[in-house]
Structure 1
Amino acid sequence: MEYLVPADPLTSPQWDQTVLDGPSSQFFHLSCWIKTLIDTYNFKPACFIVPDQHCTIPMLIVKTIRGRKKAVAFPFSDGCDIHCGKIEPDRLVEDLLKFCRTEKVNRLEFKGTTSFVPSGDPSHTYLGHKLDLTADEKKLWSGLSSSKQRNIKKSQCTGIRIRFYDGPEGQTAIREFYKLHCLTRNRHGLPPQPLKFFDWIYRNIIAGRKGKIGLAYSNDSPVSGAVYFICKHEVLFKFGASDKSLQRMRANDFLMWEAIKHFSGEGFKTLSFGKTEAFHEGLWRFKEGFGAKRIVMHDHCYDVRTGRKIKDAPNVHGIHNSVFRRMPVPLLRLSGEILYRYSA
């Protein structure tokens, strides 16, 4: 495994340049995202560069709630493909398994891959969606479903106002978004990520203009919000939230349409809508309603001791959802503070 060069993305001047020079240039490989997770959860980095292939392998070592260790490429990320050129995926997996054994790690995970395809069936499969932003506004509009077009016109008539924030203005905007995020997670029966996670997103990403926050206002009150990350020519829709009591205003659809126009006008080529569980029909229909094209994404998970691939499915539905829905928001936030570091 001599081709794998250990690297610290937080101190290495080569890391981000290698990401940007590589074939995929993915946001979730960038040091600003890696730093955000380390700053929030104090995860241990275990990252590598393959210099002659312009390949970065971002990994963090995290602990499960039972105290077992796993190496994850990459936690809380909507796609983390690995492009290692002439290095075969199976060889890379075997060499990373050797590394994991020396670190006494129990499990190795690759999250949200598309072109990285090791042998064997994937451990889990998701849907991804991407929208081509290079078309003109008329063509982008015609790519929307008829229901999306109606919703956007309706929202415009209600007086909804849209603004996008980055740099210093993003600090207040991220707090406004977080209020909507807590309401949305409560509605879905899930705890929100900790507030400090979003504060680090502002400091490491938004303040440096590597992302933007979109907010939709009704009478100066935020009713819908979205967080977007930026890498080279691609924009990634990472988080969305809204006040359901004002859903009749269709601000979610209007905000996304304005984001499409905004980022297309700034010269970006692609809008990625992130990954979606196949059973979340409402969510993937929302994304496809904007003309986004479906792709398939995979997780590949391994038992380090045996080297065998294992099946895996996120435990997002169960009795815990009804428990979280009944929690007041302050208690729900406390749950997120405690639990998220173990769910990476």
Structure 2
Amino acid sequence: MRRSSWQRPLGQLNQHQCFPFFWLDVGDADQVGARSHVDGEVLLVISGSVYPAAGRLATLTNPGSRLAWSRAIPHHVAICGSCDDGTVTTSKTLILWDVDHTLIENGGVSKETYALAFELLVGTPPAARPQTDGRTDRSIMAELFAANGVAMTEAHRDALFPTLIEAMKRNADALRLRGHALAGADAALTAVSRDGSFVQSVLTGNIPENAFTKLATFGLHKHLDFEVGGFGSDSIVRADLVAASQAKAGSKYATLFDRGNTILVGDTTRDVEAGVKGGARVLAVATGVDAVEVLRTAGADLVLKDLADTESVLRCLREIASAGAQGS
């Protein structure tokens, strides 16, 4: 049985996220953590399983695993540890980036891809053009079919995602020529990746393959964990993608992700609505169709005009994360 005993004074921990504990004795558990739920209840996360915890001492059901703190755990606590290397770290915050008009400009290729997918499915190009901003792929295509007076059959639905992938492949050169990464996007992703308290992925209406193509075309895929993203293949409703991503990330990182430690970064009021309804805080950027005041009124926690100032992006993410950790 592996065993670790760790002791860390407060000065060695991130003070706005962590709380000093007296000792931690871990046996078979691969990961041990504690963080506050949105309602203030203190929870323990042990190898991916969540347990309610008493304030001073919790004896866990995992064999050989035990936690104790020097005093009652405050509701904002966020502590985790790994018995593999004895390192104490802060709990994670999940950052979910929108793709189009937040990280990249697609130069109109996105709408052309939906139009091409329609043509490949139906046999004729659409007369009415796609409406895209903030919608999911399934929603965009369903509306495109309806706008063109074509009933979407079960065969169309079954072939939808493979056809969208094929259409994106055919338009990849056009995307490379006419699209570009938005100002500050690469620097922001790189800077956030250097903060060990953040996990970065995407929340996008695109299906995973097309989201990856769009970002990889401009080298923006390197710091994103696509395994835990929320995609248009998860649900037709954009707000549902937040919970889908939180569930994937929770399983992979053995952390309970909720509104307190999830931040959605997007450019439309639909992005803001997805965060508010789906269970995430929102950093909005006015790089799309919606202005700063519109995004603020929609309910974004903070709003930036763009991602050009990397320090401002980091400051906003940390401010929102800190507010979430404190339950405010």
- TM-score, with structure 1 as normaliser: 0.31
Q: Higher relative contact order by CA 8 Å / sep ≥ 6: 1 or 2?
A: 1
Tell which structure's C-alpha radius of gyration is larger.
2
- TM-score, with structure 2 as normaliser: 0.32
